[in-house]
Amino acid sequence: YAAKAGATRVSVYRPEDSGATHRRLVLAGDLPRAIEHHRFEVWFQPQAESDTGRVTSAEALLRWDHPEFGFVPPPEIISIAERTGTIRALTDAVISDALHQRATWAAAGHLLDIAVNITPADLRDADLPAAVARMLAETGTPPAALTLEITESGVMTDPERCLAVLDALAALGVRLSVDDFGTGYSSLAYLERLPVNEVKIDRSFVQRLELSEHDATVIRATVALAHDLGLHVVAEGIETRVGWERVATLGCEQIQGYHLARPMPGSKTLEWLAADTGERAHERAAAAHL
Ligand code: C2E
Ligand code: MG
Ligand code: MG
Ligand code: MG
């Protein structure tokens, strides 16, 4: 495309295009300052053991309430951050927030692990492991209490280049998880070579299983493969009790999803954890028990 920025705007004739262009320009302009001034939030979604219902960890999820557009979907924020060269600053801010939040919960008697999503762009930065080590030390977090999630397609686009950084992260003792598993072109050979501890089965497979117990092929195969490689399996997007029961039966060790809890701010998470004793946890355990 040869048009200059000004000419492009004049040639726009579809209203939805001009809206999208406006949105892209505004968001790309605002994101660096939003990161710099910390005008975003990190929310958390609890994760539980599938057989006991015990809450063991929480995934950090980015939230940005933009003054003009309101809620901006995290994948859109991430893609803008990648294009504007701010992704590493954003990732560090999310990791730091999440680890501080974990320390706050721990001080209140709730010891949880933390999962944070990272992108291929993060893994192309050789400084990431040192930054992670510094944030772990600053917050007094044991490395194994932090899991970094990288999407399957993310790892597979550039496995050679990511491998050195993944190895350095693994050497720190940080756990690594392959997110959205089953949606990419997973290569068994690579999965074996990557220093990962966990796979997270994509929500789409879980949702199919929730509709029909016969739709278990992908999950069953994934669990078999993962367990063969000594990996832990998490099922994401559990929206129903029957979905929870089915993934537990298929051998997924952990579950996450709206049926357990929706993502919520850190302070709300602490209230939720404090209320999550006795009956609620017991009822979940009974529901999950097979
Ligand atoms: P993800 O890592 O697979 O995270 C799970 C997404 O599914 C979250 O969406 C969560 O809110 C949603 N979810 C959880 N349980 C359920 C459920 O039972 N049903 C349904 N329908 N959805 C459920 P969210 O927060 O919109 O994030 C979307 C994606 O954006 C994430 O997918 C992750 O890939 C990315 N993302 C979010 N926060 C960050 C971040 O801080 N850094 C990076 N690099 N990526 C992030
Ligand atoms: Mg994730
Ligand atoms: Mg996921
Ligand atoms: Mg997903």
Summarised one tens digit per residue, pLDDT across range 122-153 is 999 999 999 999 999 999 999 999 999 998 77
Which tens digits make up the pLDDT trace of 188-206? 667 888 899 999 999 999 9
CA distance 138 to 228: 36
- The percent of the chain in helix, strand and coil, each rounded to the nearest 5, is 55, 20, 30
Nearest listed ligand to the Cα of residue 257: 1
Pocket of ligand 1 (CB under 6 A): 45, 60-62, 73-75, 78, 94, 117-119, 149, 179-180, 203, 236-239, 257-258, 263
Please tell me the predicted confidence (pLDDT) of residue 193. 83
Say which residues have a Cβ less than 8 Å from residue 149's Cβ, sequence separation at least 6: 59, 115, 116, 117, 118, 177, 178, 179, 200
The residue contributing the CA closest to ligand 1 atom 27 is: 74
Ligand located closest to 201 CA? 3
Measured in Å, residue 2 CA sits from the centre of ligand 4 at 36
- The residue whose CA is least distant from atom 28 of ligand 1 is 74
Residues 149 and 170: their CA atoms lie apart, in Å, by 12
Mean pLDDT by 10 residues, the chain (290 residues): 42 64 94 95 97 95 97 97 96 98 97 97 94 98 97 77 91 96 73 90 94 91 93 96 95 96 97 79 64
Question: Rounded to whole angstroms, how far apart are CA atoms 220 and 235?
Answer: 12
The pTM assigned to this predicted structure is 0.92
All residues with CB under 5 Å from ion ligand 3:
179-180, 200, 236
Closest CA to 259 of 210, 222, 212, 220: 210
Q: Which residue minimizes the CA distance to atom 4 of ligand 1?
A: 61
Asked if 172 and 143 touch (Cβ cutoff 8 Å), the reply is yes
- Taking alpha carbons only, the member of 62, 120, 72, 64 closest to residue 96 is 62
Distances (CA, A) of 150 to 5, 36, 156, 197: 34, 24, 10, 12
- The yes-or-no answer on residue 271 being catalytic is no
Q: Which residues contact 99 (CB under 8 A, 6 or more apart)?
A: 114, 135, 136, 138, 139, 141, 146
Closest CA to ligand 1's atom 23:
237
Distance between Cα 155 and ligand 3 center (Å): 14
Of 152, 210, 236, 253, the active-site residue reads: 236
* 3-state DSSP assignment of residue 97: helix
Question: What is the reported pLDDT for 171?
Answer: 98
Taking alpha carbons only, the member of 85, 92, 91 closest to residue 32 is: 85
Question: Which pLDDT belongs to residue 280?
Answer: 66
**Cα(first)–Cα(last) distance of the chain, in Å?**
59
Mutate to test the pocket of ligand 1, among 47, 236, 269 (most ligand atoms within 8 A of CB): 236
Q: Which atom of ligand 1 is nearest to the CA of 118?
A: 44
State the Cα–Cα distance between residues 217 and 267, nearest whole angstrom. Answer: 39
